[in-house]
Amino acid sequence: MEYRKLGNTSLELSTITYGAFAIGGNMWGGNEQKDSIASVKASIDHGVTTLDTAPFYGFGLSEQMIGEAIKGYDRSKIQLLSKFGLVWDGSNQGKGEFFFDAEEAGKKIPVYKYASRANVMKEVEESLQRLQTDYIDLLQIHWPDSTTPIAETMEGLELLIQQGKIRAAGVSNYSVPQVAEAQKSVNIASNQVGYSMLNRGIEKELVPYAREHNLGIIVYSPMERGLLTGKYLESGQLKDNDHRNGYFQQFDLEKVKVFLDTIRPIAAAKNATLSQLVLRWTSLQPAIAVVLAGARNADQAIANAKAMEVDLTAEELQFINTALAKI
């Protein structure tokens, strides 16, 4: 495993970081809690010291399971990353920006973006309880909230740093102008954004900005929610309540299949899976500090961790990029 310093902070994170969205269950067709906890433990045992979660993932369940899974480990050697700013329980009292209706047990649950200073302080206390810890290594606003001034949100993060409840502040899904505005109020360590072989939009503005300002980029959905594993292009079946049934339709699936077949021999030559090849390619892109990878069980977690053992030459990277250009 490789460990990388995050931005201009003292945090060192495992390049492959455990992404805990799917273990929350909502939107992913559910998962067995014992398998989820086993996947977290297996990750840690194989060098993945960084775990990324959020209150919204399973409406608190993901954080609770992370808290249970890390019992017995040296907390000082584990980096917990969480978020705030998505509210679903009505505690925003009608404030904030409506985001979408989530579904849980057949019921629609309205979710709002709400990142007032007071809500930042409230949510972190709830996360600390669920995670069973007294500090969070990196706290990130989950999505921009157009109804709250960025400076107000960042003031809350700065206060939490001063109180010792968080070690560093980050943002998620922020544009370059939003990051620049946030940095006026607090030292922003990172921006967590979607990025993959099929989604390279951040390379135009965010990557150059990050390199110039020593901002860490944390990548989510590098596997495009499983599409780049190739298994859903063959015989993989998704449950009816799995959001990926619609998500995958944005891509030209035939071209994706041709691309994966083109790079498959590279993975085979290295005794690696397509997933490991994709994760390793992602980790080698400019300004990328951390690559989030989800796992539903211990075997998947171990495979993700071993992606960093895949050695790619400059020629192989160029071959992959040339194949990508044809999609």
- Percentage of the chain modeled with pLDDT above 70: 94
All structural domains of the chain with their residue ranges: 3-324
d(CA 313, CA 320): 11
User: Tell me, what amino acid is at 185?
Assistant: S
When pLDDT is averaged across residues 141-169 and rounded to a whole number, the result is: 98
d(CA 258, CA 237): 20
Give the contacts of 162 (CB within 8 A, at least 6 positions apart). none
Residue 27 confidence class, pLDDT cut points 50, 70, 90: very low
- Domain boundaries 3-324, CATH class: alpha beta
Residue 35 confidence class, pLDDT cut points 50, 70, 90: confident
Three-state secondary structure readout of the chain: CCEEECCCCCCEEECEEEECCHHHCCCECCCCHHHHHHHHHHHHHCCCCEEECCCCCCCCHHHHHHHHHCCCCCHHHCEEEEEECEECCCCCCCCCEEEEEEEECCEEEEEEECCCHHHHHHHHHHHHHHHCCCCEEEEEECCCCCCCCHHHHHHHHHHHHHHCCEEEEEEECCCHHHHHHHCCCCCEEEEEEECECCECHHHCCHHHHHHHHCCEEEEECCCCCCHHHCHHHCCCCCCCCECHHHHHHHCCHHHHHHHHHHHHHHHHHCCCCHHHHHHHHHHCCCCEEEEEECCCCHHHHHHHHHHHHCCCCHHHHHHHHHHHCCC
Predicted local confidence at residue 26, as pLDDT: 52
Predicted local confidence at residue 241, as pLDDT: 62
d(CA 277, CA 283): 10
Predicted local confidence at residue 231, as pLDDT: 80
d(CA 51, CA 139): 12
Residue closest to 133 by CA, chosen among 41, 64, 188? 64
d(CA 223, CA 193): 13
Predicted local confidence at residue 33, as pLDDT: 82
Q: Which of 3, 18, 57, 135 is catalytic?
A: 57
Question: Could you tell me the two tokens for 220?
Answer: 């989510």
Give the contacts of 90 (CB within 8 A, at least 6 positions apart). none
The answer to whether the CB of 154 falls within 8 A of the CB of 185 is yes
Residue closest to 142 by CA, chosen among 215, 87, 70, 71? 87
Predicted local confidence at residue 311, as pLDDT: 96
Predicted local confidence at residue 104, as pLDDT: 74
When pLDDT is averaged across residues 194-221 and rounded to a whole number, the result is: 97
pLDDT in tens, 242-289: 667 678 778 888 888 899 999 999 999 999 999 999 999 999 999 999
Residues making up the chain, counted from first to last: 327
d(CA 66, CA 269): 35
Predicted local confidence at residue 252, as pLDDT: 81
Predicted local confidence at residue 13, as pLDDT: 98
pLDDT in tens, 178-201: 999 999 999 999 999 999 999 999
Predicted local confidence at residue 22, as pLDDT: 81
Can 135 be counted among the known catalytic residues?
Answer: no
Residue 107 confidence class, pLDDT cut points 50, 70, 90: confident
Residue 29 confidence class, pLDDT cut points 50, 70, 90: very low
Is pLDDT at 17 greater than 90 in this prediction?
yes
d(CA 221, CA 235): 21
Predicted local confidence at residue 24, as pLDDT: 66
pLDDT in tens, 48-66: 999 999 999 989 999 999 9
